[in-house]
Structure 1
Amino acid sequence: MSEKTGLVAVTSRSFSTHPLLRQQLQKEYINVKFNESNEQLTGEKLVNFLQGAEKAIIGLELIDEILLAKLPDLKVICKMGTGIDKIDFKALNQYNVAFTHTPGVNKRSVSELVLALVFTLLRHLPAINANVKKDKWRQLRGTTLTGKVVGIIGFGAIGRDLAELLKGFNCQCLIYDVIEHNNLPPHVTQINLEKLLMNSDIVTLHVPLTLNNYHFIDKPQLSKMKKGSILINTARGGLINEEALYEFLQHNYLQAAALDVFETEPKVPLKLLQLDNFFATSHIAGSTEEAILAMGLQAIEGLKVATIPKIENYA
């Protein structure tokens, strides 16, 4: 089948509902189908949707050996977004399926949400909003972001962008990363994880989820965090042990936490939601008009340049 006539299936809901992205993809390919269900496809629904497709643009769907075994026509997958924890690269290699994704394109969208979450917690906005709606005029005293020490775990595109934004608030940024970084800005210092946790007023996660860092933040790490500090996660849910986080929030060791991602999305632990010092959003860090358009356009280009993945690059 030719490049132009082979079926391209789009499971990503944000792409499927974006008029400009739909139009652009249909300019490039004749035979296109979009996910019109407004739900994330799983199991047989996902298999049926992708059946017969040569290329696919996906979102948060699980791509594994079981799925690929049922899709002999599928040759190219492009994932919108950064996270690749739901992609089985051994299976892609086994079935000779090319792959690419769009890392870093949504960095400003994610960085801005981190700041929004930080301000929300520092200024007690949920409690204040609830009080005003109940006709209770209580002026809860918050704290400023200016001059705070912010620990950034992971210094890729998003971590670097966040540090640049924090410069404007005169924040000192402590970073932890598996890669040693040179020529860092004056307000950024690379240190080990323990020192970062002990000295940061705010800790924010910006690393991919892998088999090696599941529950990267657990009881030992939480106990090392500065008492009264804040924890933010807009990366991947499995990075934090949510049971352990609950304990540290319940006993007010941490001032507060805000999570945009959870281990078993879309389910959020009810215990966490019942805490006044916990704030949740629904995996929206990359969900801005600008980020979705940029990721979608890059995904379209990715369909042309995807390659068979080398497993060692994604270990």
Structure 2
Amino acid sequence: MKIAVYNCREDEASLFETYGKEYDVELSLSPLPPTPETASLAEGCDAVDIITTPVGRELIDIWHSYGIKAIATRTVGYEHVDYKYAAELGISVSNVSYTPHTVAEYTVMAMLMSIRKMKTILTRYMGQDFSLKDIRGKELCNMTVGVIGTGKIGETVIKNLSGFGCRILAYDIYQKDSVKALAEYCDLDTLYRESDLITLHTPATEETCHMINKKTIHSMKDGVILINMARGVLIETADLIEALESGKISAAALDVVEGESAIYYKDFKYKPVGHHEMAILQAMPNVLMTPHTAFFTDEAVGDMVRYSIEHCVNTVRNGR
């Protein structure tokens, strides 16, 4: 059995080698993204392993002609793959899960950095400005934190937060008894109205697209803090900027942003990024931005590689 691996980073290569031997598969590793021009890298393979590059009908058709039986994306999200069309052709599409601690711990770090104004403190320190003006923070124990989405990551965030002594509100269409022991489930209107800090842990769907918008922001507390470690499309970016400029939202921490796919994981040191809204957000002292790296730990990357190979093996060898 042979798998074509696209967008293989240097830090993943040794993991692919290790798990390739464990599952007894031949791997064709390439740093190139999957496109119609690079589709031939999968010729002679049984499956392909990708990350976040969009995969549409044209590419799927080419892979189908090569006899590809499985597309594994080593990401939690899979909206970048036309999985419905792939299914029509009999090609299995899968995503991966990985340890929820990686994003959950990063989320709490982002919360603490936001309420303690760490971006301003660190920026000033680099310029040898050690003054205290405008950097007085808040204590998490005295805040009400709203967690939207209580899947594996959201629930782990809640478990982590329980040690800080803050009040925790939660929203999800599927409620868990394990979460009820630590947080209070409520409707979104209540969560928006009563939370001092709101963190998003929900997938990108038609229903959740731009769930944070001018209307929902208006219903939030003045000075609310917003954390997004999930998907950029959950927030209407223009409305976020307007709320930050007016002070309705006092701070934000964003590991994701709309339109990031053409930018993140690339080096733009010596050329314009070409994302005006990102440039505005990045310039704000009260906005902490990171390039979709909340997932990036040894443990999580290992899970992503292992489970993507495992799916291909299960589909091709075991027919499931």
TM, length-normalised to structure 2: 0.86
Paired amino acid for 1:203: I
Q: Which residue of 2 aligns with 1:281?
A: 290
Question: Aligned runs of 1:177-216 on 2, under 5 Å?
Answer: 177-182=172-177, 184-216=179-211
Q: Provide the rounded CA distance (Å) in 2 between the counterparts of 1:272 and 1:85.
A: 25
Q: What letter matches 1:164 in structure 2?
A: K
Per-residue displacement from partner, 1:240-289 (whole Å, max 9, x unpaired)?
Answer: 11111000001111110111112111265222122221111001111111
Corresponding residue for residue 119 of structure 2: 126
Return 290-299 or 243-252, whichever deviates more: 290-299
Partner residue of 2:213 out of 209, 212, 218: 218
How many positions carry a matched residue from both structures? Answer: 298
Q: Find the residue that maps to 1:9 and give its secondary structure.
A: strand
C-alpha contact 1:234 1:259 (8 A) present in aligned 2:
yes
Aligned pairs for 1:1-315 (under 5 A) are 4=1, 7-14=2-9, 17-37=12-32, 41-72=33-64, 73-103=67-97, 105-139=98-132, 140-182=135-177, 184-265=179-260, 266=263, 268=275, 269-306=278-315
Is the CA contact (8 Å cut-off) linking 1:78 and 1:100 kept in structure 2?
A: yes
Mapped contact 1:147–1:169 kept (Cα < 8 A): no
* Structure 2 CA distance for partners of 1:136 and 1:214, relative to 1, 3 Å: same
CA distance in 2, matches of 1:232, 1:12: 28
Q: 1:310 corresponds to which residue?
A: none
- What letter matches 1:113 in structure 2? Y
Query: Is contact 1:77-1:306 (8 Å) kept?
Result: no
RMSD of aligned Cα (Å): 2.0
Give the deviation of 1:185 after TM superposition: 3.7
Secondary structure of 1:150 counterpart: strand
User: TM-score, normalising length from structure 1?
Assistant: 0.88
- Please, which runs of 5 or more residues in structure 2 have no aligned partner? 264-272
Matched to 1:284, the amino acid is T
* SS of corresponding position for 1:70: helix
Residues 62 and 106 of structure 1: CA distance in aligned 2, closer, same or farther (over 3 Å): farther
Structure 1 window deviating more from structure 2 (119-128 vs 175-184): it is: 175-184
Please list every run of 5 or more consecutive structure 1 residues that lacks an aligned counterpart in the other structure: 308-315
State the distance in 1 between where 2:297 and 2:24 align.
26
Deviation for aligned residue 1:46: 4.5
Change (3 A) 1:18 1:169: farther
Seen in structure 2, the aligned counterparts of structure 1 residues 30 and 196 have a Cα distance that, compared at 3 Å, is closer
Q: Aligned equivalents of 1:228 and 1:68: distance in 2?
A: 47
Aligned-partner SS, 2:170: strand
Query: Amino acid of the residue matched to residue 96 of structure 2?
Result: T
Shift of 1:94: 1.1
Tell me the CA shift for residue 15 of structure 1.
7.9
- Distance in 2 between the 1:252 and 1:14 partners? 40
Higher mean Cα deviation, 259-268 or 149-158? 259-268
Letter of the aligned partner of 1:90 in structure 2? K
Cα 1:46/1:264, change in 2 over 3 Å = farther
Q: Which digits, 9 at most, give the CA deviation of each residue in 1:213-242, with x for residues without a partner?
A: 211111111111111111111111111111
CA distance in 2, matches of 1:219, 1:56: 41
Gap change, CA 1:33 and 1:102, over 3 Å in 2: same
> For 1:183 and 1:126, how far apart are their aligned partners in 2?
34
* Contact 2:5–2:50 under 8 Å retained in 1: yes
